Chain A
Amino acid sequence: MKAAFDPVQMAIPFFVLAIILEIALARLGKAKANYETRDTATSLAMGLGSTIAGALLGGVIFAATLWVYEHRLFTIPMTAVWAWVVLFFAEDLPYYGFHRLAHERRFWWASHVNHHTSTHYNLSTALRQTWTGGVAGTWLLWLPLSFLGFPPAMVAIQKGISLVYQFWIHTEAVKRMPRWFEAVFNTPSHHRVHHARNARYLDANYAGILIIWDRMFGTFIPEVDEEPCRYGTVKNLGNFNLLHNVFHEWVGIGRDVLVAKSPREVLGYMFGPPGWSPDGSRDTSHMLKAKWRARVGGQAAESDR
């Protein structure tokens, strides 16, 4: 749903200029950034396609949001400063919930995975957005805000502000922010961990703007210099095909469901954690982390001898 004031649309020129700046600084050796041509093309094409896909489903989402707002509990004024302060927190929490769901359950991972398929971490990666998020229905998580009485336009603006905030943290050019900032806000360092495929970093740092939710709910993992982040998914894609990038996990779900032997297996393949299989022959994040812990424990034991 688009508000009359759309922070994302307004920020597009800034996005373009920031990418140009990051590339220029990397070229001059003044900042850390790697850009691979086809990877960059995929990221930017995903961004454009996401806008189109969003517009196609926007009417349905708008209608649903409006319907919920018409049945609201309270009427919260859009002009009140306190309402914006409350919404800042109240919108960021559902984002954390959405983001955690989108990583820990395969049905929603299928729509979100394409944001993570770049093996690079630069500002163009931020624009690698989903085409199928509307179909996956994650927008439902924000409906309670309208039910509470926040005007739909206000929620849409805050969601836009969150998305714009998250743009600048997709960079390796910024190592660490001041300690107080790292404690409260999502930062390039925290979000590098989120995009990393190293076993130790999997399923962590789901924050939108505030990292406090990860700290509160036990999903925070700090970036450590001894283990640089390696980006992408556990099994990186084998090609740069745009449609493969968009639909590969949906196709994977379809294939698995077709060979499922019971309703339990169907549910597991659809709503279990990514990597779930009935016989445990595939790796989930949990299993990969357990193996990593065993390795690290073994190495520590060897070095203690």
Chain B
Amino acid sequence: MTDPPPSPTLVKKGEDGVSLEKALLIQLLGSAVAISALVGLAAWARIARPTPPLDTAGLNALLAEEFPDHRPSAVWISADGAGALARDGDDVLVLWRRGDGYVARDTRWSAVAAATPQQGKLKLVLADAAPVFSVTGPLWPPQEFAV
């Protein structure tokens, strides 16, 4: 008696008769469940960094960390305190909240000045991101940036 020809599929039987495909699927599902449980635990624990809305002192500290070589002449904090802009000549330093931290980029003043708020939101299109800022009125640029 000869051995049966190998199966044309990738399904192979292990010693316990469970196919490798099935074992991998079980492992994958188990991992997904474990990940979900750990993420749920992290959410429940509420141990993210405290990130209160930005105020002037908080913004200055953030600017000193992220843009130590710049000396902004004017700053603007978004209505919800989750983002800020700081002007340094023709450059604008952009900060916005992501999770429990802030992301920093810079852009040209002309790009900021040309943006238009819509329904209380201002979207800035940057090279690799498009942060949205809360604004209080239709006036843009805000008076903080008036020269």
Contact = CB atoms under 8 A, between A and B. Distances in A.
Interface of A: 16, 19-20, 23-24, 26-27, 33-41, 44-45, 48, 51-52, 119, 124, 230, 232, 235-240, 248, 252, 291-292, 295
A20 B38 contact: yes
B98 A240 contact: yes
Contacts of B100: 34, 36, 39, 119
Interface stretch (B4-12, B39-47, B74-82, B112-120): B39-47
B28 to A, nearest CB: 8
Contacts of B104: 235-236
Interface stretch (B29-37, B52-60, B85-93, B137-145): B29-37
Given A36-B42, A236-B104, A252-B128, 14 more contacts: A24-B45, A33-B47, A34-B48, A34-B49, A35-B47, A36-B49, A37-B42, A119-B100, A124-B42, A235-B104, A236-B103, A239-B129, A240-B98, A291-B69
A206 B101 CA distance: 26
Given A41-B35, A44-B38, A238-B128, A27 B99 contact: no
A7 to B, nearest CB: 17
The 6 closest A-B pairs by CB, nearest first: A238-B129, A35-B42, A27-B45, A37-B43, A36-B48, A44-B35
Given A48-B31, A124-B38, A119 B99 contact: yes
Interface SS of B by simple majority: mixed
Interface core residue of B38, B65, B98, B129 (most chain A CB under 10 Å) = B38
B108 to A, nearest CB: 13
A157 B50 CA distance: 41
Q: How large is the interface on B (under 10, 10 to 19, 20 to 34, 35 or more residues)?
A: 20 to 34
Contacts of A19: 38
Contact of A40 (B28, B38, B65, B68): B38
Given A40-B42, A124-B38, A23 B103 contact: no
Given A48-B35, A235-B104, A238-B128, A230 B45 contact: no
Contacts of B131: 238
A240 B129 CA distance: 12
B76 to A, nearest CB: 19
B98 A236 contact: yes
A194 B24 CA distance: 34
A48 B47 contact: no
B105 interface: yes
Contacts of B101: 36, 119, 232, 236
Interface core residue of B96, B99, B129 (most chain A CB under 10 Å) = B99
A40 B48 CA distance: 10
A41 B42 CA distance: 9
